Amino acid sequence: MICGMLPFLRKTTGVTALALLAASYPTLAANLKYPPTTKTNVVDDYHGTTVTDPYRWLEDDNSPATKDWVAAQNKVTFGYLNAIPGRTAIKARLTKLWNFERYGVPFKEGGHYFYSRNDGLQNQSVLYTVESLTATPRVLLDPNTLSKDGTVALAGMAISDDGNLLAYGLAASGSDWNEWKVRDVRTGQDLADHLQWVKFSGAAWRKDGSGFYYSRYDAPKPGDALKGVNKFHKLYFHRIGTEQSADVLVYERKDQPDWGFGGSVTEDGRYLVITASQGTDPKNRVLYKDLSQPDAPVVELLMDFDASYRFVGNDGPVFWFKTDLNAPRSRLIAIDVTTPARANWKEVIPQSAETLQGVGVVNQQFIASYLKDARSVVQVFALDGKPVREVALPGLGSAGGFGGKRGDTETFFSFTSFTAPGTIYRHDLTTGQSTVFRQPKLDFDESTYETKQVFYTSKDGTRVPMFLVHKRGLKLNGQNPTLLYGYGGFNISLTPSFSVSRAAWLEMGGVYAQANLRGGGEYGEDWHQAGTKRHKQNVFDDFIAAAEWLQANHYTSAKKLAIQGGSNGGLLVGACMTQRPELYRAALPAVGVMDMLRFHKFTIGWAWCSDYGSADNAAEFPALYAYSPYHNLKPGGRYPATMVTTADHDDRVVPAHSFKFAARLQEYHRGANPVLIRIETKAGHGAGKPTAKQIEEKADELAFLTKELGIKPPRAARK
């Protein structure tokens, strides 16, 4: 049942200034005095169950009281962090490690190559263009010039087919709201075009370069930009040189407030393919419009909402889709839109033992990317589906890219592992050979570390994979500081990737563990569904089992284990630290969904009901209430040392989740472990965060862990 279709909960006691109760004065922990947090008498009735919500007032991020609370909490938190011995050295080491040249995967339009580059410590990567791979690149767009503190980021871009125009989106302070502009690639100057209130959208140029398709919401009411519910997405066409008010509405559904739209133009320029999503459910609908016919109608092609259909490309009226219909690990099918009945569909690439992640059409071939136990495998197929070859990859890691046009004979991809940042390769599709285009060099010796994959058994007997990264020759004595990371949701797969902060963690003798929990997409849609709605507890059981395995196999102990996750992973950490607090010494829940009864009432939160369910649904409420981190903290509980992190401009998972969780945690927690909340300013959910802010945040996290787990400072600071 889609969120919002059932009656809303009934509030039994309102929040008013007269209803304020005594302020909460938590017990001191580690000589900390937490700011007193006012409690209010708010009680809700969920299908006959009464639930208190004394910190509801913190949901109002614009109120002076909330702003004062944020300032007071940050004063305590940063005072604590800045006093940790070794934090300065950790920041210095992170800064040195971060200072390496890195590139994005190149792509080609209109005879020009385009790619991003960061010289090391630039807050934002710079977009370059070049006529050939050996020519001198030219700066096309430098986001670092758009704000003094680097908080304006490039959020999306699209180049016209002739390579002459760049449509680009900007995000300020990490917000999901974007504004889009247009730049002339030849002159480097912006045109007058300016689009606002764009969210969850790219840009799709028409073949003739006359304009592009994009999606947006109506402008929010004053004060609602960062917390108001987002409904009624609309698809528009913007003609270059005109005002946004003149944009043509291409498609909307006034009867479907929860549908979101994305438009793409086929390579031949003939069709506009419209994808209609519904929340975060991987299932979707597909429509199309014939652009060769003036005023052609939008045609409904796939409207049953029975599977995921990802458009890959077309051969005239034959559309290729990657789908999980009757194939939970996905396959490739062909649909002729002139005879679209299901009986006429053709399977091109059948489902395999590995999970098909994506398909592209380059050099008159399909390039298919798979996951085999959460690591990349790439296969090339002929257009009739016959296997051609496997693309050789450097090792156990993650490969991404492989874009291009149907007639191109080259493609580019990035390959990364836990101990090596992304190397960019040029792949010759005629010879099958890959050569290094750009390889980063940094002050980190990856040869001294090893990566292995283990499989452990969860509570219900499910076999779950986990990556382990640590120094070679690690002693299994149960005394190794270990950081366990997870996500487990929304069909998202955790694959090997490089992180500067993890590199610093490894240098300090830490073990890094990454568990591939149910709810993710590592093994296809069945694996995803096994961690959703009333099955969500499976995700937490998988993570808890990972912690138990690490201790049982003497990698670490409860006194040396920390857990970390962000967003849905923040929920994961919040749930696991409330269910099994004795298993961990420290917890780092970041931008987490902590109030599972009210998440759907803010911004795009309603869209997560496809994974979580809704408290408005009497059948789904009990499961949500049973694990909701905010509601399952217990008075007098002894919790791990915890640093909650969030940001004041997070309009994806509004900071109220973290505010309320931290306030109640400080109220209920007993013992010496510190429980803090770190609230970043001029930042959002994480995308586009400036390098300087990332270094500060990671230095704080590592400093917190060194203190709580008893870790030596980084080598650069040792005397």
In this structure, what are the phi and psi dihedrals at residue 246, rounded to the nearest 5 degrees? Answer: -95, 0
Burial tier of 244 (Cβ tally within 10 Å: 0-12, 13-18, 19+): middle
Cα diameter, the chain: 76
Spatial neighbors of 135 by CB under 8 A, at least 6 apart, are: none
Tell me how far apart the alpha carbons of residues 340 and 335 are, in angstroms, rounded to a whole number.
Answer: 6
Burial readout 273-292 (b: 16 or more C-beta within 10 A, e: otherwise): bbbbbbbbbbbbbbbbbebe
Joined tokens for residue 648: 């004041």
Quickly list DSSP for 507-533.
HTT-EEEEE--TTSSTT-HHHHHTTSG
Amino acid at 172: A
Joined tokens for residue 699: 């230095």
The three-state secondary structure class of 64 is helix
Quickly list DSSP for 234-250.
EEEEEETTS-GGGPEEE
Tell me how far apart the alpha carbons of residues 549 and 624 are, in angstroms, rounded to a whole number.
Answer: 27
> Distance of CA 716 to CAs 65, 70, 508, 537, 713, Å?
43, 34, 10, 42, 8
On the CB side of 284, CA atoms within 13 Å amount to 21
Residue 671 φ/ψ region, left for φ over 0, alpha for ψ in the -120 to 50 degree band, beta for the rest: left
712 in Cβ contact with 507 (< 8 Å): no
Show the beta-strand stretches assigned E in 252-386: 259-265, 271-278, 284-290, 298-302, 309-315, 318-323, 331-336, 346-349, 355-362, 365-372, 375-382
Spatial strand order in the sheet of 298-302: 259-265, 271-278, 284-290, 298-302
Q: How is residue 584 annotated by DSSP?
A: -
Tell me how far apart the alpha carbons of residues 708 and 80 are, in angstroms, rounded to a whole number.
Answer: 12
Joined tokens for residue 157: 């871009």
Among candidate residues 528, 600, 669, 685, the one labeled active-site is 685
Query: If you search the block for the tokens 């890691």, which residue do you land on?
Result: 397
Spatial neighbors of 327 by CB under 8 A, at least 6 apart, are: 350, 351
Tell me how far apart the alpha carbons of residues 153 and 172 are, in angstroms, rounded to a whole number.
Answer: 7
Q: Is 554 a catalytic residue?
A: no
Among candidate residues 277, 369, 567, 614, the one labeled active-site is 567
Q: Is 567 a catalytic residue?
A: yes
- Write out the catalytic residue numbers: 567, 685
